[in-house]
Amino acid sequence: MPVRVAGTTDERAAPPERRTPKRGPRSAAGPSAGPGAERAAERKQAFRELVGAQLPRLYWAARALVGDDAEDAVQDCMVKAFERFDQLHDPVAGPAWLRRILINCCRDRLRADARHPDSVGFEEVESFSLYRKIAYEDPFPYSDSLHLDFLQEFGREDVHAVLRRLPDLYRVPLVLVHMEGFLARETAEILQVPLGTVLARLHRGRKLFEKRMWDYAEENGLLKGGSR
């Protein structure tokens, strides 16, 4: 039976109604994302979260190790870490895993620069006593650990400025052990040198750091009676 379409005078069959098929929600990985694309998106997100939490510490560690090359070293670290991210099976180990990659990147940069230890008069360094120097400035020391109290007065930028004055040979073990918390044995593995070599460099490095810190304080008027 013919159907009259409202609003017309013609008696014609009404055309069938067209329905647009409903589309499900789009995946964040794309309109046609499969399981592989979703896993890739999750991987990127997990990497961003790990790096975002660790980036400040990575930068300061790189700053202490390679100075002005810190940003480039961190960038190298990010590239290598993302390439190897599938090798990280335990998220809890992520921070330590990133630090080791960064240290290797910094070590590669130091090797590429072919920087060698500058001439250091170690007879003078070995005879230097920060405690005696401070005690001479103040004949009534207020602490048995006067030299440690003195070092704690300096901010991070001061410490990094002095560290950059040290030869790589001594600065790197100091940073790894005293700033990054690695054991001497772990430091020896990272640097691929005998444990005895690391211990000797740490001893000389500490003495050299104390002397350079004292020199830095004198140069910048940071001793008692100077302006801080």
- Say what percent of the chain tops pLDDT 90: 32
* More confident call, 55 vs 32: 55
Report pLDDT digits (tens) over 37-58: 888 888 889 999 999 989 999 9
In this predicted model, what pLDDT tens digit does every residue of 169-207 receive, in sequence order? 899 999 999 888 899 999 999 888 999 999 999 999 988
Q: Which two tokens stand for residue 52?
A: 């975002």
Say how far apart CA 117 and CA 94 lie, in whole Å: 33
**For the chain, percent of residues with pLDDT exceeding 70:** 65
Q: Which two tokens stand for residue 166?
A: 């040290």
Residue 122 has pLDDT above 60, yes or no: no
* pLDDT number for residue 149: 63
CA 154 to chain CA centroid, nearest Å: 21
What residues does each domain of the chain span? Answer: 39-113, 122-219
Residue 228 confidence (pLDDT): 40
Does residue 34 register a pLDDT over 90?
A: no
* Mean per-residue pLDDT of the chain: 77
- Of 100-114, 129-143, 172-186, minimum mean pLDDT range: 129-143
pLDDT given at position 159: 85
In this predicted structure, the answer to whether residue 67 has a pLDDT above a threshold of 80 is yes
pLDDT at 4: 52
Under 8 Å CB-to-CB from 154, ≥6 apart: which residues? 213, 217, 222
Return the number of other C-beta atoms located less than 10 Å from residue 220's C-beta: 13
As given in the structure block, the two tokens for residue 17 are 């109604």
Residue type, 182: F
Q: Please check whether the domain covering 122-219 is classified as CATH 1.10.10.10.
A: yes
CA 121/CA 116 separation, integer angstroms: 15
Classify domain 39-113 at the CATH class level. Answer: mainly alpha
Hey, what amino acid is at 32? S
* Cα–Cα dist 63/57, whole Å: 10
